[in-house]
Amino acid sequence: MASDDVRRRITELREQLHYHNYRYFVLDDPEIADREYDELMRELVDLEDEHPEEVTPESPTQRVGHRPVSGFAEVVHREPLLSLANAFDEEELQAFAERTVRRTGDDVDFVCELKFDGLAVSLIYEDGRFVQGATRGDGQRGEDITQNLKTIGAIPLVLSEPVSVDVRGEVFMRRADFAALNERRRESGEPLFANPRNAAAGSLRQLDPQVTADRPLDIYVYSLGYAENAGFATHGERLEFLKSLGFKVNPHVKYCPDLASVLEYILYWDDHRGELPYDIDGVVVKVNAVSQQDRLGATAKSPRWAVAYKFAAEQGVTRVQDIIVQVGRTGVLTPLALLEPLQIAGSTVARATLHNADIVQNKDIRIGDYVVVQKAGDVIPEVVRPLQERRTGDEKVFEMPLQCPSCGSTVQRASDEAATRCVNTECPAQRFENLVHFASRNAMDIDGLGPAIIQQLLDADLVRNPADLYWLTAEQLLDLERIGPKSAANLVAAIQDSCGRSLDRVLFALGIRHVGSEVARDLAAHFGSVAAIMNADQEELAAVPSIGEKIAQTVCEFFQKEQNRNLVARLETAGVAMVGAEAQRTKDALEGLTFVVTGRLEGFSRQEVEERLRGWGAKVTGSVSRRTDYLLAGDDAGTKLAKAQELGVTVLTEDQLVEVLQERGVSFDKP
C-alpha cells in the first residue's frame, strides 16, 4: 500500500504532466524540453507500477495502454449532437439571417467560426474528469471511442475546475501530418487515405487504441451540449469558459455584429484558407445570444440558430497531355494523368493519379481531354470530370496495357480487385521500389541510400534484392557517380548498422503486401521472430489482434514463396536481426537490478540503453531512490547524480556500464 509521501508525489507528477500537456498541445508553448517531460512521465509510470492500486482513469499514463476492443459500444447523447443546415451562397445566408430576426423579433448578432473538415465528437466530463467520448453517429446515438480519444494530447483528462460538462469538438489532421501518414502507407503498400478528414475518421474508429495513438490527430472544441449550472449569456462566453477549463479553442473565432461583417469574414477565409495548416470547408455562423438560440430551437436534424456556409471546392481546368502507367512496389499498375500545369489551392499541379482502369473508364477520361481538376481535401490532385463539350475528336481513349511497361511481362487482374498487377517479381520497377522501401526511414533507415543511389546500384547490376546490399564493398561503390571514398565508406557502415533494427522494422522493410508499420509491430510482438511468422498458418496469423483474414492470407502467401524465404535466410546470414528483443535477450541476466539513466550520453541513445536493460530483465525507473542499484550518468546529469551520491548509489559511466554487463554475460559494445 502506498505511503502518504508516495501518494503526494503521484498527485504532484500528474498535475505537472497535465499542465505541460496543456502548454504543449493547447497553447503550443511548452515550458520544458521533451526529455524533462519524459523523465516526469517515466517516474509516474514507475510509481504506478509499484502501486497499481493508485492508478486512476484520468492519469496521464492511461492515454494509451488499453487492449484492442472487438467493437464499439453504443452511446446515447445526453443532448443531441445535431448536424448543421448548409448555405452555399450569399442569398441563402441572407435568408438564414432574415429567418432568425423574424423568429426572435429582435436584432441579431453572430459569432463566426471556421468549419473544420474533420469528425465531430462529444467529450463527457464528470467532476472535471474525462469519462467518455463518442462519435456523432446519427445525432442521437454514437459510438464509444473513449480510449481512442484519450490518445489525443489536446484533449484534457482533467479540467481546471471540477465541473460536469458535455463538450463538442472536431477531431482533424493537419495537412503536413496527413501527407506524411499517406507516404508511410504508400511505402508499405497500404491503401491511401483520400483526404485528412478520411484519415482522421479512420484513425478514430480503430479497434486498437495504439493504432490511433500513432496517428497525428488534433482537436478544436466549439460548443457545449450540456453544462452543469451553466448561465451563459452568449456563445462567446461559452467559448471563453471552455478555454478556461483547458480546452483548445480555435483562435480565428470572430464576433460579427451584422450580416455584412459575417460576409467579410467568409470572403476573407475563402481566399486565405490555403494559408491554414489544416483543411476547412466553410464557415459556421451562429447566433451569439443564448436566449435567442433557445427561442429559435432546432428541427429534428439541425439547430435553427446556426448555419454552415460551404465553400466551393477550388477547381481549375487544364488539359490531359498524356496518361502513363507507373508500376508500384507490389506490382500494381497505376494510371497517372500528366497535365498542363495549373495553380490550385496555392500550388502547381502537373499530374494526378487516376487510381485504376475502372475509374478512367467510368469517368471517360481521354488523352487530350480538357478536364476539371481539384484538390481532394485541398491536398491530393483529383481529376473530377472531362469537359466533353470541348472535345475535337482527336482525343485518345486510354487502355490499360496488357504487358508491364517496365518488364514486358503479361499483367493480371483478379476478379475481386480493381488493381491490375505485374506478377513478375523480377520486374525492374518492382525491384527498384522494393529497395527504396527497404532503405526508407520507417523501415531499415539506411542513411545515404536514396533512390538515385539505388538506381545506380541496379544499373550496375550490383544488387538485385535487399540482401545484396549487405555484401557491398566500398570499392564497388567507388564506381558510382558522385561517390568518393568517404561517402562509400559511410554508406557501407550505414548498411551494416541497419542490421540492428528492431524486428517490427525488419518485417515492415520486407514489403509484405498490407503489412504496414502498425501491423508489423503487432506481428513482431505476438510471434517474436521471423521464423515463427513464416511457420504460422493462416488461422494462427488471423488470431492476432488487428490481423484479419486478408492480411493473414498475404503474409502466408509471401512466406510460401521460395525466393522470399531465401531472402530472409540471406538477410539473417548477413547479420540482420530476425528475432525480437524479448527473444534475443539473455534471460534474467539483470533480474532484480534497478537502473536509472540520466544525462547526455555519447555512445548510446538513452532510449536504446533503457530498452536493452529492460530486455535483459532489469527494472529502469525515472527517479533515484535507495532501491536503485546503478545510475548511468552522462553529461549534465544534474540532480539525479547528486541524489545518487547522497544515497550511496553506484554511479556508472558508459564504459563502466559495458563492464558491468560483460560481467553478467551480456554484450553491449559502444560503437
Residues with catalytic function = 115
For the range 209-213, what are the long-range contacts, defined as Cβ-Cβ under 8 Å and sequence gap of 24 or more? 209/64, 209/65, 209/66, 209/68, 209/147, 209/148, 209/150, 209/151, 210/64, 210/68, 210/518, 211/518, 211/546, 212/148, 212/151, 213/63, 213/64, 213/151
Based on its alpha-carbon atoms, the radius of gyration of the chain, rounded to whole angstroms, reads 29
The answer to whether 352 touches 382, Cβ cutoff 8 Å, is: yes
3-state secondary structure of 69: coil
Give the β-pairing of 86-87 and 306-310: parallel
The gap from C-alpha 512 to its chain's centroid, in whole angstroms, comes to 20
- Rounded to whole angstroms, the Cα distance separating 96 from 113 reads 16
Contact 515, 524 (CB under 8 A): no
**Displacement of CA 114 from its chain's centroid (Å):** 23
Residues 316 and 97 sit within 8 Å (Cβ to Cβ): no
Cell of 11: 498527485
Give 558's Cβ-side CA count (13 Å radius): 22
Between CA 450 and CA 511 the distance in angstroms is 17
Question: Between vectors from CA 449 to CA 445 and to CA 450, what angle results, nearest 5°?
Answer: 100
Instruction: Measure Cα distances from 466 to 275, 498, 510, 563, 576 in Å.
Output: 41, 12, 9, 12, 11
Q: Tell which residue, 185, 178, 176, 294, has the closest CA to residue 234.
A: 294
Strand order of the sheet with strand 119-126?
129-135, 119-126, 165-172, 218-227
Packing angle of the helix pair 259-272, 90-104 (nearest 10 deg):
150
From residue 246, alpha-carbon distances to 10, 119, 427 in Å are 21, 20, 55
Q: Is residue 276 within 8 Å of 53, Cβ to Cβ?
A: no
**CA 207 from centroid of its chain's CA atoms:** 15
- CA–CA separation, 601 vs 605, rounded Å? 6
Q: How far is CA 482 from CA 14, 171, 272, 456, 472, in A?
A: 54, 47, 43, 11, 17
